[in-house]
Amino acid sequence: MQNCKKNDQAPMPLSNRFAEDGIPEVGIDEAGRGSFWGPIVAGALMIPPESEWTDTLRATLGQLRDSKKISPKKRALLSKQIKELLPLHGIGVVGAEEINREGITWANREAFRRAFQAVPFPDKPSCRLLIDGVLSLDKWDGQQELIVEGDDQYMAIAGASILAKVAHDEWIHAYCEAHPECEERYHLCSSNGYGTAKHREGIRLYGGHELHREQYIQRWLPGGSQRGKRKESCLIRL
């Protein structure tokens, strides 16, 4: 018998459904909650019954994993395939201005809501939502299941996480193409908005940008080092 290291073993396949009861299920996940800069983006995805899968769709679904465990190149390819093969998907974006005004918990839920509303499925009240993490969808009377690390368990959530991550990173790269001075200061393309050492150094040198999240960057702003200390009008436009 051949000995295999754990990392060499093929990952366990993800589940297609939460329950075998015929209720339409929509997976929902987000990207960018922990970013210092830019929007939080959510993806939502409905996968059809297995009886309707083509060989091409089956091959794509077999590759779905938590987006953080997939290379950027493969994520982009899978996102493209998901959009082509699975029309019942949606993206929800909540910008930095809304995050600064309403808070990240509200923004996270609102991104979920917008992503779900963008799914072109007419009978939304009949759906069961499979949400990665611990935040439920507000004002939703239908079924919803909160699943910690759900993107490692269910295809629909994993697919939603890939859609969200690719959309989030593409948003940032597009902004930096249009505003190269922002990339030069904060190294956003390499960090995708997260608080890397170069990004934090840019905040120390140049202060905050209008798309930074105020509460996230206070300790690195020039002249202020205390976490949670809020300075009014600390964000600048470039």
pLDDT at 232 (0 to 100): 42
Please report, for the chain, how many H helices and E strands are present, in that order: 9, 7
Residues 166, 76 contacting (CB under 8 angstroms): yes
In angstroms, rounded to a whole number, what is the distance separating the alpha carbons of residues 103 and 160? 23
Check whether 233 has a pLDDT greater than 70: no
pLDDT digits (tens, 9 = 90+) for 129-142: 999 999 999 989 99
Average pLDDT over residues 66-75: 95
Cα angle 90, 76, 211 (rounded to 5 degrees) comes to 70
Q: How far apart are CA 180 and CA 177, in angstroms?
A: 6
pLDDT for 22-47, tens place per residue?
999 999 999 999 999 999 999 999 99
Choose which CATH entry (3.40.50.410, 3.60.15.10, 3.40.50.300, 3.30.420.10) describes domain 19-168: 3.30.420.10
Amino acid occupying residue 13 = P
Tens digit of each residue's pLDDT (9 = 90 or more) over 42-59: 999 999 999 999 999 999
The residue behind tokens 């080092």 is 225
Three-state secondary structure along 112-173?
HHHHHHHCCCCCHHHCEEEEECCCCCCCCCCEEEEECCHHHCEHHHHHHHHHHHHHHHHHHH
Q: Where are the domains of the chain?
A: 19-168, 176-236
What's the pTM? 0.89
**Per residue in 24-46, is it b (16+ CB within 10 Å) or e — as a string?**
bbbbbbbbbbebbbbbbbbbbbb
